[in-house]
């Protein structure tokens, strides 16, 4: 589909191609134009929930009568959160608290329930909306202005995500067209604030691919302060660097001062002046680069969170408290099982606010087990996997094993998917299934008594979505062990997003334990192993000849045509 669409803006090289010169419509600009169009579709999909109507006492109010947010399928968390998080009062998140009635009786103290960067984004958007409302410009309800301000900022974040992913795609840039025109963008672009995290995650991976590990860590840390999922990408980076690092001592080069040699102000100044050189030198080896990225991410996340945690500790802890006490969400596999059986869950019936301790432990253990399995694949596969492949597996494992899979979380997979699995039909099938889950979800929330759908209609589509994601994971694992089926590596590439591990061979003297070393096959050219003695088609053994090492595919020159 993308290949056919690109013929509108040029297509294959022809008689009138401009070699070495570019017109205005470059591939990246075409992708950004597609993105703007589909973001507009996403805004119109939510526009039904910001319609205004006459209030009973005069004035205007939102038209959410008779469950319109469900029947029009335009529900967005942004609209109710404007009042639920007390943003309409102009309050600063995390400092403001309120008391509300708890289900089953009693009261509880509440604060802003989002990570720091997402909460501050909501606060800044509220200030812009209130400033607009106080100006003589044409206006509307404050919540409508707030939604539009939020949507504009999220659109810029998604455009940044598209730009970074297009640069990561390299030669296969048109694969990103499926990301720009994804059905999930229409449905979930403005459901929540997840585009902030996708922008930082994509930019962090781009910085890693450009061999800027410290910058990659800073960007991933900022993404983790908006949603925690960008921090999960540190795991695949560390695994690939563990495999590729020869564990040889890095030469000091021109560095002349060690920290233990600092004795005064002059020597300290010399040591500080050499810090940038030390960082560049450390980033040249795989484990050093992984350490810079991990350290940069954790320090950045801490610096963003520290002021709020110091000044308003109760408000800062609210996000972690709610995630601890939440039960299995309707979208989780645990709820799917409960929906089709009489099972009451691991913890049974719990009171409001009581943490499901067993479910939390099971979810954590399942995710940890999946991560260990992914790490084992990354370390022992005959050829080192691509970074995007492991990133997709980790994020998918988190979503499948977690007790919460909010609908907009599927957007986390979209940028990684087009890099990891450039099979357009398969990706379009998964995205369409995932987007269509929104329809039974809305009518399930509407309620059977109001002509909605039973729960099993919704959980059945959730199960189909999960099976589609599992199928993509199986395909990735197959391509890891059969890299000749990987479309990215058919162009004599190794890992365009690999950064310091791109085109790096496995160490000749591996330092990892035997159980964690690559399983080298004697008849695979992907690892540079020697060719084994083969049997002829008649079933007779071939005469063993001289054994010659076979070069890896990425080092072979492409065959000339004709």
Kindly report the pTM of this predicted structure: 0.86
Q: What burial class does residue 424 get, using C-beta atoms within 10 Å of its C-beta: 0-12 exposed, 13-18 middle, 19+ buried?
A: middle
344 Cβ neighbours under 8 A, 6+ residues apart: 338
Assess contact for 294 and 230: CB atoms under 8 A: no
Tell me the average pLDDT across 161-170.
94
Look at residue 353 in the predicted model and tell me its pLDDT.
77
Q: What is the DSSP string of 226-280?
A: H-SGGGGGHHHHHHHHHHH---PPPP-TT----GGG--SHHHHHHHHHTHHHHHH
Between CA 160 and CA 196 the distance in angstroms is 10
Query: Residue 145's pLDDT band (boundaries 50, 70, 90)?
Result: very high
Q: What burial class does residue 276 get, using C-beta atoms within 10 Å of its C-beta: 0-12 exposed, 13-18 middle, 19+ buried?
A: exposed
Count CB-CB contacts under 10 A for residue 93. Answer: 25
Query: Residue 256's pLDDT band (boundaries 50, 70, 90)?
Result: low
pLDDT tens digit sequence for 69-102: 999 999 999 999 999 999 999 989 999 988 888 7
| Residue 295 clears pLDDT 50, i.e. is over it | yes
pLDDT tens digit sequence for 393-425: 999 999 999 999 999 999 999 999 999 998 999
Between CA 443 and CA 463 the distance in angstroms is 17
Query: Residue 262's pLDDT band (boundaries 50, 70, 90)?
Result: low
> Average pLDDT, whole number, for the chain?
85
Name the strand (E) or helix (H) holding 116: helix 116-134
Look at residue 343 in the predicted model and tell me its pLDDT.
86
Query: Residue 538's pLDDT band (boundaries 50, 70, 90)?
Result: very low
User: What is the number of residues in the chain?
Assistant: 562
Look at residue 260 in the predicted model and tell me its pLDDT.
56
Count CB-CB contacts under 10 A for residue 124. Answer: 13
Distances from the Cα of 93 to the Cαs of 14, 157, 309, in angstroms? 57, 22, 12
Name the strand (E) or helix (H) holding 366: helix 357-380
Assess contact for 558 and 492: CB atoms under 8 A: yes
Tell me the average pLDDT across 309-324.
93
β-bridge pairing 60-62 and 98-101: unpaired
Look at residue 539 in the predicted model and tell me its pLDDT.
42
Who has greater pLDDT, 154 or 62?
A: 154
pLDDT tens digit sequence for 105-141: 778 888 999 999 999 999 999 999 999 999 988 888 9
Look at residue 269 in the predicted model and tell me its pLDDT.
63
Assess contact for 193 and 122: CB atoms under 8 A: yes
What are the backbone dihedrals phi and psi of residue 60, each rounded to the nearest 5 degrees, phi first? -125, 155
- Which residues is 530 bridged to in the sheet? 549
Between CA 465 and CA 482 the distance in angstroms is 26
β-bridge pairing 60-62 and 52-54: antiparallel
| Residue 300 clears pLDDT 70, i.e. is over it | yes
Tell me the average pLDDT across 48-55.
88
Query: Residue 245's pLDDT band (boundaries 50, 70, 90)?
Result: confident
Between CA 197 and CA 54 the distance in angstroms is 37
Look at residue 522 in the predicted model and tell me its pLDDT.
41
Query: Residue 534's pLDDT band (boundaries 50, 70, 90)?
Result: very low
| Residue 527 clears pLDDT 50, i.e. is over it | no
| Residue 6 clears pLDDT 70, i.e. is over it | no
| Residue 345 clears pLDDT 90, i.e. is over it | no
* SS3 call for 75: coil
| Residue 454 clears pLDDT 70, i.e. is over it | yes
| Residue 558 clears pLDDT 90, i.e. is over it | no
Query: Residue 531's pLDDT band (boundaries 50, 70, 90)?
Result: very low
Assess contact for 26 and 173: CB atoms under 8 A: no
Domain extents in the chain: 160-247+279-489
| Residue 556 clears pLDDT 60, i.e. is over it | no
Look at residue 276 in the predicted model and tell me its pLDDT.
73
pLDDT above 90 coverage of the chain, percent:
61
pLDDT tens digit sequence for 359-390: 999 999 999 999 999 999 999 999 999 999 99
Look at residue 545 in the predicted model and tell me its pLDDT.
40
Who has greater pLDDT, 9 or 121?
A: 121
Look at residue 8 in the predicted model and tell me its pLDDT.
67
| Residue 104 clears pLDDT 60, i.e. is over it | yes
| Residue 559 clears pLDDT 60, i.e. is over it | no
Tell me the average pLDDT across 277-282.
74
């Amino acid at each position: 589909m993308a290949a056919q669409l690109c013929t509108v803006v040029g297509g294959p090289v022809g008689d009138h191609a401009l070699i070495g010169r570019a017109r205005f419509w470059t591939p990246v600009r075409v992708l950004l134009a597609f993105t703007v169009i589909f973001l507009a579709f996403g805004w119109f999909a939510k526009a039904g929930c910001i319609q205004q109507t006459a209030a009973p006492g005069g004035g205007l109010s939102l038209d959410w009568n008779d469950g319109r947010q469900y029947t029009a399928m335009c529900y967005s968390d942004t609209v109710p959160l404007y009042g639920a998080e007390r943003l309409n009062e102009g309050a600063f998140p995390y400092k403001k608290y309120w008391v509300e009635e708890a289900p089953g009786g009693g009261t509880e103290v509440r604060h802003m329930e989002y990570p720091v960067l997402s909460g501050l984004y909501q606060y800044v958007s509220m200030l812009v909306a209130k400033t607009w409302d106080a100006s003589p410009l044409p206006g509307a309800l404050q919540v409508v202005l707030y939604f539009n301000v939020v949507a504009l900022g999220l659109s810029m974040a998604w455009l940044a995500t598209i730009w970074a992913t297009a640069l990561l795609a390299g030669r296969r840039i048109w694969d990103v067209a499926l990301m720009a025109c994804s059905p999930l963008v229409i449905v979930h672009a403005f459901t929540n604030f997840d585009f902030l995290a996708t922008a930082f995650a994509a930019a962090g991976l781009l910085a890693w691919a450009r061999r800027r590990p410290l910058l990659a860590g800073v960007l991933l840390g900022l993404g983790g302060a908006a949603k925690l999922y960008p921090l999960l990408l540190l795991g695949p980076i560390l695994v690939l660097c563990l495999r590729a690092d020869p564990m040889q001592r890095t030469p000091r080069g021109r560095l002349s001062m060690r920290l233990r040699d600092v004795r005064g102000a002059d020597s300290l100044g010399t040591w500080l002046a050499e810090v940038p050189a030390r960082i560049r030198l450390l980033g040249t080896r795989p484990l050093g680069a992984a350490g810079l990225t991990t350290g940069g991410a954790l320090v950045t996340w801490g610096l963003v969170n520290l002021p709020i945690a110091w000044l308003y500790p109760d408000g800062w802890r609210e996000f972690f408290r709610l995630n601890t006490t939440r039960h299995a969400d309707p979208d989780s596999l645990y709820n799917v099982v409960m929906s089709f059986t009489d099972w009451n869950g691991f913890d049974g019936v719990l009171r409001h606010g009581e943490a499901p301790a067993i479910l939390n432990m099971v979810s954590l253990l399942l995710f940890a087990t999946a991560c260990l399995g992914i790490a084992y694949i990354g370390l022992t596969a005959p050829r080192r996997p691509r970074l995007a492949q492991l990133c997709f597996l980790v994020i998918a494992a988190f979503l499948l094993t977690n007790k919460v899979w909010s609908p907009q979380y599927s957007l986390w997979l979209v940028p990684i998917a087009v890099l990891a699995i450039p099979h357009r039909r398969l990706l379009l099938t998964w995205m369409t299934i995932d987007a269509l889950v929104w329809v039974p979800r809305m009518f399930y929330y509407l309620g059977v008594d109001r002509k909605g759908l039973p729960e099993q209609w919704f959980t059945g589509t959730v199960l189909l979505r999960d099976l589609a994601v599992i199928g993509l994971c199986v395909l990735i694992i197959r391509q890891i062990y059969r890299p000749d089926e990987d479309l990215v590596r058919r162009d004599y590439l190794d890992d365009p997003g690999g950064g310091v591990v791109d085109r790096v061979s496995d160490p000749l003297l591996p330092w990892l334990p035997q159980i964690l070393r690559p399983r080298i096959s004697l008849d695979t050219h992907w690892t540079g192993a020697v060719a084994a003695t083969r049997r002829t088609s008649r079933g007779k053994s071939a005469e063993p000849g001289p054994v010659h090492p076979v070069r890896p595919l990425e080092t072979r020159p492409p065959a000339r045509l004709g």
